[in-house]
């Protein structure tokens, strides 16, 4: 996880990061969290058809598009809006699901950074979840252990902690 002093300095910031695995995939996810998460997503998002804009959503999804690049390429996107305090981080949060091209995902992050979002530090979404009382320290550490697991045994043990079995990592 990120250094606590770095995170403390940016408590009021809206953060952004790619939250899907590295590499190409069918779908990629860009996540925002913070006071301006919904406003930034709304600014980048164009609703399609009868879809609603992110600012009008409350724990819903909406289909639309993002305009990226100098050529103004239209990219399909689904915006998932999760309002705090019930989101993972306890803050307003938006996930933008779009084609999983690493270059495209980086372009979307850059668009959101130009709007004022700050690139999240490693572990910062989980740190915010802990700070806002959404998860306890054991679960925050288990998230980090899951991400950094080097074997199937480590992965299963950390997932066991996340599911509630702190002692063995096995299903109760």
Q: State the CATH number of the domain containing residue 29.
A: 3.30.1360.120
Q: What is the pLDDT of residues 19-43, one digit of tens each?
A: 998 888 899 999 999 999 999 999 9
Q: Quick one: 111 and 42 in the same domain?
A: yes
Greater confidence (29 vs 7) lies with: 29
User: Residue 166: what pLDDT?
Assistant: 55
Residues 37 and 95 in one domain: yes
Do 96 and 165 lie in one domain? The reply is no
Residue 169's pLDDT band, with cuts at 50, 70 and 90, is very low
DSSP structure class, residue 117 = -
- Residue 161: which domain range? 136-172
**Same domain, yes or no: 83 and 22:** yes
Contact 100, 28 (CB under 8 A): yes
Mark whether 40 and 12 lie in a shared domain. yes
- Max Cα separation, the chain? 54
Angle between helices 152-163 and 137-147 (to 10 degrees): 150
What is the rounded average pLDDT of the residues 108-112?
Answer: 95
Q: Backbone phi, then psi, for 132, in 5-degree steps? A: -95, 10
52: three-class secondary structure by DSSP: coil
Q: What is the band of 60 on the pLDDT scale with cuts at 50, 70, 90?
A: confident
pLDDT, one tens digit per residue, over 66-106 is 988 777 888 999 999 999 999 999 999 999 999 999 999 99
78/154 same-domain check = no
Q: What is the pLDDT of residue 144?
A: 83
Q: Assess whether 112 and 151 both reside in one domain.
A: no
Could you tell me if 170 and 119 lie in one domain? no
Q: At what angle do helices 124-131 and 137-147 cross, to 10 degrees?
A: 170
| Domains held by the chain: number | 2
- On whether both 45 and 101 belong to a single domain, the answer is yes
> Could you tell me if 96 and 18 lie in one domain?
yes
3 vs 134, residue with greater confidence: 134
Q: Does position 8 have pLDDT exceeding 70, yes or no?
A: no
Kindly state whether residues 117 and 151 are assigned to the same domain. Answer: no
Q: Are residues 112 and 141 in the same domain?
A: no
């Amino acid at each position: 996880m990120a250094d606590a002093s770095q995170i403390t300095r940016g408590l009021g910031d809206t953060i952004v990061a790619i939250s899907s695995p590295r590499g190409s995939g069918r779908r990629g996810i860009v996540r925002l969290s913070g006071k301006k998460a919904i406003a930034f997503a709304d600014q980048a998002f164009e609703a399609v058809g009868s879809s609603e804009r992110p600012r009008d959503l409350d724990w819903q999804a909406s289909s639309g598009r993002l305009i990226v690049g100098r050529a103004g390429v239209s990219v399909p996107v689904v915006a998932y809006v999760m309002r705090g305090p019930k989101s993972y981080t306890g803050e307003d949060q938006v996930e933008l699901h779009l084609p999983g091209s690493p270059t495209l995902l980086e372009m979307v992050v850059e668009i959101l950074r130009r709007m004022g979002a700050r690139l999240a530090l490693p572990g910062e979404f989980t740190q915010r979840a802990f700070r806002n009382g959404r998860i306890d320290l054991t679960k925050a550490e288990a998230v980090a252990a899951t991400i950094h697991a080097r074997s199937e045994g480590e992965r299963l043990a950390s997932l066991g902690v996340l599911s509630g079995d702190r002692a063995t990592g096995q299903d109760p």
